[in-house]
Amino acid sequence: MRISVIGSGYVGLITAAGFAENGHTVICVDVLQEKINAINKKKSPIYEKGLDEILKRVVGKNLTATTDLRKAVMGTDMTFLCVGTPSNGDGSVDLKYVKKASEDIGRVLKEKRGYHVVVVKSTVIPGTTEDVVIPVLERNSGRKVGRDFGVAMNPEFLREGVAIEDFMNPDRIVIGASDKKAGDFVESVYHGFSSPILRTDIKTAEMIKYASNAFLATKISFINEIGNICKKLGIDVYDVAKGIGLDHRISPHFLRAGIGFGGSCFPKDVKALVYKAREIKETPAILNSVLEVNKKQPLKILDIAKKKAGKLKGKRVAVLGLAFKAETDDMRESPAIAIVNELVRKGAKVAAYDPKATENAKAIFGDKIKYARSATEALRGSELALIVTDWIEFKNLNFKEMKKKVVVDGRKAINEDTLPNDVEYEGVCW
Ligand code: UDX
Ligand code: UDX
């Protein structure tokens, strides 16, 4: 199949690289020339495990990148819409990129011969594809969905850091389509995948994405709430999580308590669902609580730090980890943002280290903090260390150059059993 992918961000680029690796001919499109140049030079503009290796194999062969959307759509049979869907301040989804890309695709479809399917992969609130994307495509193409072209919604479930693995071996593939022909067309590009394929209507596919992320976020806030209670009762919530996770109805996944969830999806998607629910006069009590727990959770690490190490003013604090989770350079909605800002506000002197996210962090914190080149450098001379991201390299850290060896772990990243006796270690929920 000849596939064009509009928007070469995290989702678009993984999707494009994955389809190319599986033998399809793919054209990536983005409005940013530097992204396109990087891809054409076989260099991923984002850090994602395994992506550079795939780009080396496919770029120039069956994957090319361009800023020319028209040419890309004209030369392909299927177009995946992967532009960003940022959050407006009030939680609603900003659809300007989705609308703009749909207009551009529609104008090309006006001239294009042959059957074409437009597949929405961007996360959009149930109803958006039918109420916004399809009308814009029809208006700009002068053609009719179902008769002249097809539309489908095929949500992504890619976790950053393991996105290639998630693309190649998904738990399920969800395809919501305007009609059977469009759905069959999309299903054909997943030929060879052994995952279950679920065919639905368009808005059900849109809702499956939101319900999945909302459920996973709920699991995290739930275990954090249990963890906060455990902490006060002197119980390790990780033992509790193991105990409940063995019940197959609960499962052991997404029960890692700590400083809460961040990233480009969970916070934004839960807020968007809350916004939509309110708009249709529903009160989403559980989802509201999920967000409330998650808002407070990052600062738990500072409450504990203050109890252990006294006031933060003037204190030299090592912050280890800035990314919203390990194996990514992504800082979007990272719990590190609230933690570092509060440390700065309280007058602490922060030296931060992250194996990948330092450049992105500089854009957020500027010169308010120092950026160390290694964990050892950040720890040197500090009186308090906060573990904010669960990077594997933090498992067996050496704290001997700290001035005062107080360590508060927000992610259970450290192997507590191997710590020397002179390190005072405390976990957020254990
Ligand atoms: C994706 C999904 O699209 C979003 O709905 C989901 O919730 C999270 O994952 P992501 O890939 O992370 O977003 O976004 P981003 O990395 O910002 O990439 C979007 C890309 O689209 C950018 O490279 C941007 O330059 C490009 N873009 C944006 C276009 O090419 N055209 C536009 O009109 C707008
Ligand atoms: C998520 C979804 O998992 C994925 O399917 C897709 O919809 C995009 O959004 P991602 O944001 O990349 O993926 O990361 P994920 O591994 O889900 O973690 C999200 C956040 O939750 C991270 O901040 C992580 O540290 C946190 N988390 C995760 C926990 O605090 N505890 C857990 O048990 C699991």
Residue-wise pLDDT for 104-126, tens only, equals: 999 999 999 999 999 999 999 99
Residues 409-423 have pLDDT tens digits of: 999 999 998 899 999
429 alpha carbon, distance to own chain's centre: 24
Which region, left, alpha or beta, applies to residue 231 given φ > 0 means left and ψ of -120 to 50 means alpha?
alpha
Residue 245 CA to residue 253 CA, distance in Å, equals: 7
> Which among 15, 121, 216, 328 is the best mutation to test ligand 2's pocket, defined by most ligand atoms within 8 Å of the CB?
216
Residues 300-319 have pLDDT tens digits of: 999 999 999 999 999 999 99
Q: Is 265 a catalytic residue?
A: yes
Cα-to-centroid distance, 263 and ligand 2 (Å): 7
Torsion of the alpha carbons at 15, 21, 25 and 30, rounded to the nearest 10: 40
Q: How does DSSP classify residue 234?
A: T
Closest protein CA for atom 19 of ligand 2 = 261
Q: What is the bridge-based pairing of β-strands 173-177 and 406-409? A: unpaired
Task: Judge if the beta carbon of residue 106 lies within 6 A of ligand 1.
Answer: no
Which residues, listed in sequence order, are joined to residue 427 by a DSSP beta bridge?
409
Cβ atoms of 283 and 350 closer than 8 Å? no
Residue 299 CA to residue 241 CA, distance in Å, equals: 22
Query: What pLDDT score was predicted for residue 381?
Result: 98
Question: Does domain 2-200 match CATH 3.40.50.720?
Answer: yes
Cβ atoms of 125 and 203 closer than 8 Å? no
Helix residue spans in 280-413 (DSSP H): 285-309, 335-345, 358-365, 375-379
Closest protein CA for atom 16 of ligand 1 = 9
Q: Locate the domains of the chain by residue range.
A: 2-200, 234-430
- Please report the atom of ligand 2 found closest to the CA of residue 253: 33
Residues 2-34 have pLDDT tens digits of: 999 999 999 999 999 999 999 999 999 999 999
Ligand sitting nearest the alpha carbon of 263: 2
Helix residue spans in 67-174 (DSSP H): 69-74, 96-111, 128, 134-141, 163-168
Give the pLDDT band of residue 401 (cuts 50, 70, 90). very high
Task: Judge if the beta carbon of residue 151 lies within 6 A of ligand 1.
Answer: no
- Please report the atom of ligand 2 found closest to the CA of residue 263: 11
- Please report the atom of ligand 2 found closest to the CA of residue 163: 12
Cβ atoms of 143 and 110 closer than 8 Å? yes
Task: Judge if the beta carbon of residue 106 lies within 6 A of ligand 2.
Answer: no
Give the pLDDT band of residue 389 (cuts 50, 70, 90). very high
What pTM was estimated for this model as a whole? 0.95
**For the residues 150-156, what does the mean pLDDT come to?**
98
Cα-to-centroid distance, 261 and ligand 2 (Å): 6
Kindly list the distances between the CA atom of residue 189 and the CA atoms of 2, 16, 17, 78, 385, in Å, as whole numbers in the listed order. 10, 12, 13, 10, 48
% pLDDT > 90, the chain? 97
Describe the strand order of the beta sheet including 316-320 as a list of residue ranges. Answer: 370-371, 349-353, 316-320, 384-387, 406-409, 424-427
Task: Judge if the beta carbon of residue 7 lies within 6 A of ligand 1.
Answer: yes
Cβ atoms of 357 and 328 closer than 8 Å? yes
3-state SS, residue 230 = helix
Closest protein CA for atom 10 of ligand 2 = 159
> Which among 159, 219, 354, 428 is the best mutation to test ligand 2's pocket, defined by most ligand atoms within 8 Å of the CB?
159
Which overall architecture, per CATH, does domain 234-430 show? 3-Layer(aba) Sandwich (3.40)
Cβ atoms of 318 and 353 closer than 8 Å? yes
Closest protein CA for atom 21 of ligand 2 = 261
% pLDDT > 70, the chain? 100
Residues 336-363 have pLDDT tens digits of: 999 999 999 999 999 999 999 999 999 9
Kindly list the distances between the CA atom of residue 291 and the CA atoms of 28, 92, 285, 305, in Å, as whole numbers in the listed order. 35, 15, 10, 23
pLDDT greater than 90 at residue 392: yes
Q: Taking the CA of residue 55 as centre, how many other CA atoms within 13 Å lie in the half-sphere pointing to its CB?
A: 23
Give residue 67's identity as a one-letter amino acid code. T
Cα-to-centroid distance, 238 and ligand 2 (Å): 18
Ligand sitting nearest the alpha carbon of 80: 1
Task: Judge if the beta carbon of residue 154 lies within 6 A of ligand 1.
Answer: no
pLDDT greater than 90 at residue 279: yes
Residue 143 CA to residue 110 CA, distance in Å, equals: 7
Residues 34-70 have pLDDT tens digits of: 999 999 999 999 889 899 999 999 999 999 999 999 9
Ligand sitting nearest the alpha carbon of 388: 2
pLDDT greater than 90 at residue 254: yes
3-state SS, residue 349 = strand
Task: Judge if the beta carbon of residue 49 lies within 6 A of ligand 2.
Answer: no
Q: Give the start-end residues of each E strand in 41-77.
A: 63-66
Torsion of the alpha carbons at 38, 43, 45 and 51, rounded to the nearest 10: 140
Task: Judge if the beta carbon of residue 261 lies within 6 A of ligand 2.
Answer: yes
Calculate ∠ Cα 133-182-203, nearest 5°: 45
Query: What pLDDT score was predicted for residue 359?
Result: 96
Residue 276 CA to residue 126 CA, distance in Å, equals: 9
Torsion of the alpha carbons at 393, 399, 404 and 408, rounded to the nearest 10: 30
Query: What pLDDT score was predicted for residue 47?
Result: 84
Task: Judge if the beta carbon of residue 332 lies within 6 A of ligand 1.
Answer: no
The domains spanning 2-200 and 234-430 adopt the same CATH topology: yes
Residue 304 CA to residue 299 CA, distance in Å, equals: 9
Task: Judge if the beta carbon of residue 84 lies within 6 A of ligand 1.
Answer: yes
Nearest to 428 by CA among 409, 404, 400, 406: 409
